[in-house]
Amino acid sequence: MKKQWIFSLGLFLSLGLFLFSCTNDQEKTTNMQEPKTEAEAAGSMALVIENLNDAFKGETTASAKYAAYAQKAEEEGKSEIALLFKTASQSEAIHANNHKAVLEDLGMPIPEVTPEFAVKTTLENLNDALAGETYEINTMYPEFMTNAQSANAQLALISLKYAYETEQKHQVLYQQAIAALGSNQLSTLATQYYLCPTCGNTYADKAPKRCGISMTSGDRFILITSA
Ligand SMILES: [Fe+2]
Ligand SMILES: [Fe+2]
């Protein structure tokens, strides 16, 4: 009888310990979803700053590269493609400037950039530009925006989103240019472009009353022509 009583007490205590451990585990899980500690928040912000530095370097390099590609297209007598590269170069400069402004707002130094790239034939340059835009759309900007969102860095998020959405326009424009070059129909390409000074959004031939990305008024758009 006594043995049975001791056994029951043992079972009761084991059950109690088990339940306590479950509650504790649940608490640990809940804690993981709680707001970040100061150290975690600082770590998230450091990652956003690193991303902004990389984005600034990438956009500065893209701007210089597209300007050189424009010159090469002009030399090859492909003025329609030269105009597209000239426009995209100015758009990337707007992105670089936006990222720079966010870094300045965060009190960070602006990195020195020495653009490095190779100028090849216009077809190769177009393919390189398309690959660059595709990488930014599929990989770089989505990752950077997730990090900015996680750090609640709203200004960084806006600057990154402006570039991310504009690159999708550039991707299409480069695809069209590659197709036109392949079918010897360069005259079908745009003869002028409009650039939004706020986000770099790029419109071929005509522009709407407001920018589709940043809502900037169309009368502030920059007209880019061959002249
Ligand atoms: Fe860009
Ligand atoms: Fe772009």
- Measure the CA–CA gap between 98 and 172, rounded to whole angstroms: 23
Average of per-residue pLDDT across 49-73: 98
Q: What percent of the chain has pLDDT over 70?
A: 85
Q: What is the pLDDT of residue 3?
A: 53
Residue 226 Cα to ligand 2 midpoint, Å, equals 19
Residue 166 Cα to ligand 2 midpoint, Å, equals 6
Q: Which residue has the higher pLDDT, 200 or 19?
A: 200
Residue 37 Cα to ligand 1 midpoint, Å, equals 33
Residue 18 Cα to ligand 2 midpoint, Å, equals 58
Ligand lying closest to the C-alpha of residue 95: 1
**Residue closest to 212 by CA, chosen among 224, 193, 198:** 198
User: Is it the case that residue 208 has pLDDT exceeding 50?
Assistant: yes
Q: Which residue has the higher pLDDT, 169 or 35?
A: 169
Residue 87 Cα to ligand 1 midpoint, Å, equals 11
**pLDDT tens for each residue of 63-77:** 999 999 999 999 999
User: Phi/psi at 129 (nearest 5 deg)?
Assistant: -65, -40
Q: What is the pLDDT of residue 24?
A: 47
DSSP bridge partners of 203: 194
Tracing tokens 């079972």 back to the chain, one arrives at 11
Residue 10 Cα to ligand 1 midpoint, Å, equals 68
Q: What is the pLDDT of residue 14?
A: 52
Ligand lying closest to the C-alpha of residue 129: 2
pTM for the structure as a whole: 0.84
Residue 92 Cα to ligand 2 midpoint, Å, equals 6
User: Is it the case that residue 16 has pLDDT exceeding 80?
Assistant: no
Ligand lying closest to the C-alpha of residue 96: 1
Q: What is the pLDDT of residue 99?
A: 98
Q: 39-187 belongs to which homologous superfamily? A: Ferritin, core subunit, four-helix bundle (1.20.1260.10)
Residue 95 Cα to ligand 1 midpoint, Å, equals 5
Ligand lying closest to the C-alpha of residue 99: 1
Tracing tokens 């920059």 back to the chain, one arrives at 222
For the chain, domain boundaries: 39-187
Q: What is the pLDDT of residue 36?
A: 84
DSSP the chain: -HHHHHHHHHHHHHHHHHHHHHHHHHHHHHHHTSPPPHHHHHHHHHHHHHHHHHHHHHHHHHHHHHHHHHHHHHHTT-HHHHHHHHHHHHHHHHHHHHHHHHHHHTTPPPPP---------HHHHHHHHHHHHHHIIIIIHHHHHHHHHHTT-HHHHHHHHHHHHHHHHHHHHHHHHHHHHHTT-GGGS-S-EEE-TTT--EEES---SB-TTT--BGGGPEEE---
Residue 88 Cα to ligand 1 midpoint, Å, equals 8
Ligand lying closest to the C-alpha of residue 141: 1
Average of per-residue pLDDT across 16-27: 45
Average pLDDT, the chain: 90
Residue 218 has which token pair?
């169309």
Q: What is the pLDDT of residue 35?
A: 74
Q: Which residue has the higher pLDDT, 105 or 22?
A: 105
Residue 109 Cα to ligand 1 midpoint, Å, equals 21
**pLDDT tens for each residue of 116-172:** 999 999 999 999 999 999 999 999 999 999 999 999 999 999 999 999 999 999 999
- At a CB cut-off of 8 Å and minimum separation 6, what does 150 contact? 44
- Measure the CA–CA gap between 73 and 5, rounded to whole angstroms: 93
Protein residues with C-beta less than 5 angstroms from the ion ligand 2:
167, 170
